[in-house]
Each structure stands twice: as C-alpha cells, then as structure tokens.
Amino acid sequence: MDVHYLLQLVLNGLFVGAFYGLVALGYSMVYGIIKLLNFAHGDIYMLGAFAGYTMLTIGAGALGGGSIVALVVILVIAMVLTGTVGLVLERVAYRPLRSAPRLSVLITAVGASFALEYGVAVGYGPNPRVYPVGFGNGAVDIFGARLTYAQLFMMLVALGLMIGLDMFIRRTRSGRAMRAISQDPKACLLMGINVDNVISRTFFIGSALAGAAGVMAGAYYGKVDFLMGFIIGLKAFTAAVIGGIGNLRGAVLGAIVLGLLESFGTALLGSEWRDVFAFGFLILFLTVRPTGLLGERVTERV
C-alpha cells in the first residue's frame, strides 16, 4: 500500500465523515436536550434530498441548472423546509409524550420514521429518482490523492455549518439555554426559560443540518430514494455514540472516526461489508466505552 492510496483513504473517510457529522449533530442535539432517540432523523435527511430534487426539477431553467449558486440557494431553502418539518414533528408527535414512558416515545419515533418514508414513497413513488444536477469531474490533487471540487465544496459547506453551530451554541443566549436545558430541564423551567421554545429551536436546527446533508448527498450521488435515510440515520447514531452522545464536538469527532474506519474497513474487507463493519464497531464501542470518546461518565440518579 503506498502513501497516496492511504491518503486517498483518509480523504474519502473525511468526506463521508462530514456527511455523517451533519446528521449526527442533529441526533446528538436532540438526544442531549430531551434524551430522545429521534429515529426519524435519518428520514429528515431524506426529505432534504427530496426537497432539493423537487426544487431542481421544477426550477431547473430558472436557476440555471446546477450552478454552485443555484445549489446554495436550494440548500438554504431545503434547510428551512426540513427544519420546519422537524419542528412540526416535535410538536405533533413528541411533545404530547414528553412525560410518557420512554418506550412510548421510541415507538412514536419509529412511527414518525415510517410515516415520513412511506409518505415520500406515496408522493414520489418507490423508485429512485435521478438528481438533475451533475458536477464536473474537476479535481484537486493533494499529494497524489484525488479530491473532486464537488467533494471539496461540500466539505467546506459542512465545516462552515459545524463552526456556525458551535458558535451559536457557545456564544448566543439561545445556545446557552440549550446547554442549560440539557443539564436540568426542570431548573430551566423554574428559571423562566421557555423550554418548549428551545426544544423547538433544537429540532429546527438539527433537522436543517440533516436537510443540508440530504441535498448535498443527492447532488453528489445523483440519486435519491425514500429509504436513503435509514442507513445514514444508523450511521449518524453510531457516530454520535462514538463521540459521546449529547456532546456536539464529540458527534463531529465520532463522525470523522467512523468515516475513516469505514474507509479503511472497506479497503480491507470489501464494500459489501462496510455497513456490517460500522455496526459491529458500534456494538464493540458500546461494550468497551459506552460513554464515547468525549462523553463523561454520568451517575444515574435515583
């Protein structure tokens, strides 16, 4: 194995990791704040891809067919749309169950995932749709490894969104409220924080990020289908667990680790084992270090 090949594997891993990271962030945010595993999160990603598809199909002429500018505009609109869907989902499906047993909420999340998937299947048909945008094959050469402009562009967008989120969480009032709620929702209520609003905002942001990932995935892979969110939802969860669920920087770190692991795992075992490898790693991680790389050990209080 030569150095170029290894570098290529690293770049591939980073690229895939950037996608996982965007989705994992939403997973981790929601989990951090209301301890809910939002199974429908992967499907929000899928909705993002379909939102992009719809806009590109309808407005292909008006937008000038797949220029970077058009894609950015579509990206933003899709983010707003998916963010809104996430917000509505929380309002309709999860909020009524906030004090219900965890099992009920998990089952509701599965139901939501199902409803989104097959809602799209009803609307768009079960067959994959081809994304009406293509990227050129232009690429940069980094010490012999190839990174296409498209990949580079997407990684930069992902990086920008992640940095933006980090600043938002750390610097703004809203972000502070989110962190506070993840510590102690009851106390926040007493302190006059509008907990419902903050939770809505969390869902909006998390879903918007997943939507962005969806649009980019559609554009990059050129194909979307209604089940595309299933596997990535699982992977994003794996990434969140690796990093320490509830910890946002951890989610990104976990996503990069998972991306790299997959990249190297695929090189060693063949792509047909990629998913098995990733989930096997999830189980291994939960056995050895369930709190993740950056997670703290928390005593469950009685």
Partner 1 sequence: MTDKRLDSSTPDEPSGFVRALDERGDATVGTVGQGLAPATTRRANPVSRLIGHPAFGWIVIALAVALPFINSSAYAIRISTDALIFIMLAVGLNVVVGYCGLLDLGYAAFFAIGAYTSGVLSTTFGWPIVLTVPFVIVAAVIGGLIIGGPTLRLRSDYLAIVTLGFGEIIRITANNLDFTGGPNGVYGIPDFGDFGDYRADIATYWIVVVVVGLAVLASSRLGRGRLGRAWRFVREDEDAAEAMGIHTYKVKFAAYVTGAIFGGLGGVLFAVHQTAISPPSFNFLFSALILMAVVLGGMGSTPGVVVGAVIISLLPELLRGAENWRYLIFGILLIVVMIFRPQGIWPHRTDEKPARGGRRRSRTDATEVSQ
Partner 2 sequence: MTSTAFSQSGTRAKAPVLLHVDGLTVAFGGVTAVNGLSFDVHEGEVISVIGPNGAGKTSAFNCITGFYKPTAGRILFDDVDITGKRPALIAARGVARTFQNLRLFGELSVLDNVRAGMHVRIRQNAFDAILHTPRYRRSEQEATDEANRWLDFVGSRGNRAAEVRNLPYGEQRRVEIARALAREPKMLLLDEPAAGLNHGEKAALLDLLRRISDLGTAVVLIEHDMGLVMDVSERIVVLNYGKEIADGTPEQIRSDPAVIEAYLGSDDAEAQQEAERVAHSSDTGGFHDLPTPEEER
Q: Least distance in Å: CB of 302 to partner 2?
A: 5
Sign of CA dihedral 179, 42, 75, 21: positive
Cβ neighbours, 10 Å, residue 77? 16
Residues 156-195, one symbol each (x = binds partner 2 by CB under 8 A, - = not), give ----------------------------------------
- Nearest 10 degrees: CA dihedral of 286, 287, 292, 295? 110
Instruction: Provide the CB-side half-sphere exposure for 56 (13 A, CA).
Output: 31
Size of the site for partner 1 (CB under 8 A): 47
- Nearest 10 degrees: CA dihedral of 122, 123, 127, 132? -170
Q: Which two tokens stand for residue 215?
A: 């649009």
**Which of partner 2, partner 1, none does 88 bind, CB closer than 5 to 8 A by kind?**
none
- Asked whether the beta carbons of 46 and 116 are under 8 A apart, the reply is yes
User: How many angstroms separate the CA atoms of 110 and 123, rounded?
Assistant: 20
Answer yes or no whether residue 286 interacts with partner 1 by CB under 8 A: yes
Using CB under 8 A as the binding rule, the residues of this chain from 270 to 299 that contact partner 2 are: 299
Q: Least distance in Å: CB of 82 to partner 1?
A: 18
Cβ neighbours, 10 Å, residue 229? 32
Answer yes or no whether residue 282 interacts with partner 1 by CB under 8 A: yes
User: How many angstroms separate the CA atoms of 282 and 236, rounded?
Assistant: 11
**Which of partner 2, partner 1, none does 11 bind, CB closer than 5 to 8 A by kind?**
none
In the DSSP assignment, the letter for residue 136 is -
**Which of partner 1, partner 2, none does 28 bind, CB closer than 5 to 8 A by kind?**
none
Binding part of the chain for partner 1, among 90-98, 167-175, 209-217, 251-259 by CB under 8 A, reads 90-98
User: How many angstroms separate the CA atoms of 292 and 237, rounded?
Assistant: 12
Q: Least distance in Å: CB of 286 to partner 2?
A: 20
Q: Which two tokens stand for residue 243?
A: 């990093």
Residues 112-151, one symbol each (x = binds partner 1 by CB under 8 A, - = not), give xxxxxxxx-xx---x-------------------------
Cβ neighbours, 10 Å, residue 16? 22
**Which of partner 2, partner 1, none does 299 bind, CB closer than 5 to 8 A by kind?**
partner 2
Binding part of the chain for partner 1, among 1-9, 103-111, 137-145, 209-217 by CB under 8 A, reads 103-111
Interface positions with partner 2 (CB under 8 A): 299, 301-302
Q: Using CB under 8 A as the criterion, which residues of the chain lie in contact with partner 1 when the complex forms?
A: 35, 37, 39, 92-93, 96-97, 100-108, 110-119, 121-122, 126, 230-231, 234, 237-238, 241, 272-273, 275-276, 279-280, 282-283, 286-287, 290, 302
